[in-house]
Structure 1
Amino acid sequence: MSDGDKIPYLKVNKLLWRWTRYEGAEGCTVVREARLSMDKGPPCLPKPPEPKLTPSRSTPKPRPPEPLVKFLDDIEKMSGGFSRFKSWLNTREPPKELQLVPRPKQKIEQIVPPFDIQEIPGAMRKEFMPVSAKLMERWFAGELNYGPTDKDVAAEINQKGEHYPPDMYDTTTIKLDWVLKYRRAKDQYDELITTQIRTSRARQALKEILLPYAARPCLDARTECGENLSKLHRQFQFQYVKVGSSLSQKIGELLYADFHNNGVPDDLTGALGSFGIYAAVGYAEFYREGNTRVAEISGIYVYIKDSYDFTDKPGEASQYLGHWSKNGVIVLAYNGAMSYLNEPRLYFSYPVALGNPKVRGNVYYPVHNKDFREWAIRHQRGGDFVIYSDRKLVRIDPPIKVYL
């Protein structure tokens, strides 16, 4: 294949931390005889806790045999062993021509080394995405659980028409302090607690939430909900801000807006993609001003909530998540791929090779949301789950006054 037939692609330059375009002699080539493997079996499910055994009465030890009985048993064992040894000596060796010699297994040359979908977390770690890798490994290890539509995902209803089981809520992996190390998340967090919690929309939501508690002197959400973050979110969440874009959205920015130096995926992108920072009532006091009941909110809880799922929107093409190999991720340059494949639907359909395709890691495979759903159906595993970070109590000064 000449240099003119090679497809340009984009790869993250880890020194400059931006997309770098490779083309011409450095471009990639289409590999039509390979496809993403899904043959590797899923991880073992966690073992259920073993039931505790109730203490029982000790079983009496068997009495040793009488000396005479033991002596006779030993003689019988010795005679039986000698008889078998004599029989073995008298057995003639079968003719050598009748002995079957197993044929050596014929080695089948593997043209393209396979890449299994479960190897993506390892590739994520090479792209400095350890938290993203941990969450994806959790998904592979889970029981089958997914929302068939966007509405089901939002309502946390799975393929059985049931609410997500308790083990499909992750409240330990994502820490709010880790998220706020990323500038785009910190900016939105500051916007939430300085401006958005005081908007008219937020005050209206607070009024509807707090009205049922107006007869009390005060409200402590932690007392009401304990450590149940899902309950806190359902009962007391009143405002949120959105952060960032998903991996597929970043790739879209890269391809269609030509942002060659932007949209580089980082660990926050891989772990949460586009997510929300939420505010919920933490502490409120109630009192009267004349004939009006007033709620004064002096503390709120701030936390992250996100859905880890691979559900596509109905009627739309499955979201493209890049081309992956054990060495990491690349993205095909839009114009080059279009001119080579000459068919928009095939744009992300084929693996591509960077160099010799027989070298493991040189072939990069297109990955879409639908590939994870196909793996889940095939293996009856793979659990979509809801992510909650830890919650942070933020003091509000001056307090938010809401007239009920």
Structure 2
Amino acid sequence: MTLYTVKTTHKSDTTPVKVVVDPVHVDDIPAAMDKMKWNTAAKLMRHWFSIKPAFVITDDIRSGNIDPLKLKSNQYNDDIVKIDWLLSHRTWQAADVLVHHTWRSEKGISRLRDLLAKAGWHKGKSTPTYLGSPAFTARECDAYCQVNLRTAGTKFDLIDGLFGAIGNGTLKIAVIGKAFNDKGRDLFHVEKTGIYLRDTYDFTGDDEILGVWSKDKVLGKLETVAYMTDPIESDFEGYVTVYNRDFRRWQKVHNSGGDFVVYSDIKWRSQKDLYVEL
């Protein structure tokens, strides 16, 4: 998909104008991200372009309603986004603190009971039932020991490398430990908690704007407002507005480009004397 931009003049100006058309291709955008040091965002977009044949994410995959372990290898990526990079940003630090303090809600404990039941636990069971492992990937945590979550980021955040890579996503918390019965009380001893990202990388919603791009950079929010208000007079030559639909068209032309689930690695934290009553 090629996007063109030209500089026009007022209709009353009859001076000959030499029009130079410098096409901006949607697959030029990762290189522009590199120039802006948006390394993670560039890697994610290049990964999307690399997937063949073209794949449009389904609602079941996007919502997480299918077993994460049944995702095909080209339907997820878990080695691009690093959790320490994500948590270096303030909004995600805040989400991390909140999910750690609130995961033991009624819903969180109910989820924990359900996961333990699948692992063979029942109320009053005398032998311990173990849950989770520090060797688990994020997908395995999603399937076996994820107990709560919190969303972070919005479409109104600062346009930066984080926004280009994630925008808004979901921070999930998993637990490692064992359930046991102590003098008639069913308890779960939390040995570790783990934080990781689950997001989807896709281009749904045809009219959603993905920025005003040149081959070198994307405009900031104030510059974007000026450009969108009057592209002719805004003096941003070489820039074009990029929409989700431009990526969908690229998919159809090339039969390439695949939506996928994004998982980060996991940040494990050891817990001391943390017990949950079941």
Say whether residues 1:208 and 2:175 are aligned partners.
no
For 1:364 and 1:168, locate their aligned partners in 2 and report how far apart those are by CA, in whole Å: 32
1:135 to partner: Cα distance: 0.9
Amino acid at match of 2:189: E
1:220 to partner: Cα distance: 4.2
Q: TM-score, normalised by structure 2?
A: 0.80
Amino acid at match of 1:276: T
Question: Within 5 Å, which residues of 2 pair with 1:246-395?
Answer: 249-250=155-156, 263-290=157-184, 292-312=185-205, 318-330=207-219, 334=225, 337=228, 355=235, 362-395=237-270
1:133 to partner: Cα distance: 0.8
Sequence identity percentage = 26
Question: Within 5 Å, which residues of 2 pair with 1:48-87?
Answer: none
1:119 to partner: Cα distance: 0.6
1:385 to partner: Cα distance: 1.3
Gaps of 5+ in 2: 5-17
1:376 to partner: Cα distance: 0.8
Summarize the Cα distance change of 1:365–1:352 in structure 2 as closer, same or farther, 3 Å threshold: farther
For 2:129 and 2:254, locate their aligned partners in 1 and report how far apart those are by CA, in whole Å: 51
Say whether residues 1:171 and 2:138 are aligned partners.
no
How many residues of Structure 1 are paired with residues of Structure 2 in the alignment?
A: 253
Q: Are the aligned partners of 2:91 and 2:153 in contact in 1 as well (CA < 8 Å)?
A: yes
Question: Within 5 Å, which residues of 2 pair with 1:92-241?
Answer: 111-143=20-52, 144-148=54-58, 150-155=59-64, 164-193=71-100, 195-212=101-118, 213-214=120-121, 215=125, 216-222=127-133, 227-241=136-150
1:111-141 per-position Cα deviation (integer Å, ceiling 9, x unaligned)? 3111111111111223331110111011111
1:325 to partner: Cα distance: 0.6
Q: 1:96 — aligned with what?
A: none
Q: Relative CO higher for 1 or 2, CA cutoff 8 Å, sep ≥ 6?
A: 2
Amino acid at match of 2:3: L
> Secondary structure of the equivalent of 2:33?
helix
1:156 to partner: Cα distance: 7.6
Amino acid at match of 1:129: W
> Secondary structure of the equivalent of 2:140?
helix
Q: TM-score, normalised by structure 1?
A: 0.57
For 2:197 and 2:44, locate their aligned partners in 1 and report how far apart those are by CA, in whole Å: 15
1:178-223 per-position Cα deviation (integer Å, ceiling 9, x unaligned)? 1111111112112221x11222221222122223432441414128
Q: Once superposed, what is the RMSD of the aligned Cα atoms? A: 2.7
Runs of 4+ with >4 A deviation: 331-338, 351-355
> Secondary structure of the equivalent of 1:222?
coil
For 2:232 and 2:63, locate their aligned partners in 1 and report how far apart those are by CA, in whole Å: 36
Gaps of 5+ in 1: 1-34, 38-108, 158-162, 251-262, 341-350
> Secondary structure of the equivalent of 1:234?
helix
For 1:114 and 1:227, locate their aligned partners in 2 and report how far apart those are by CA, in whole Å: 45
Summarize the Cα distance change of 1:381–1:242 in structure 2 as closer, same or farther, 3 Å threshold: same
> Higher Cα Rg: structure 1 or 2?
1
Please point out which of 36, 49, 52 is paired with 2:3: 36
Q: Are the aligned partners of 1:376 and 1:382 in contact in 2 as well (CA < 8 Å)?
A: yes
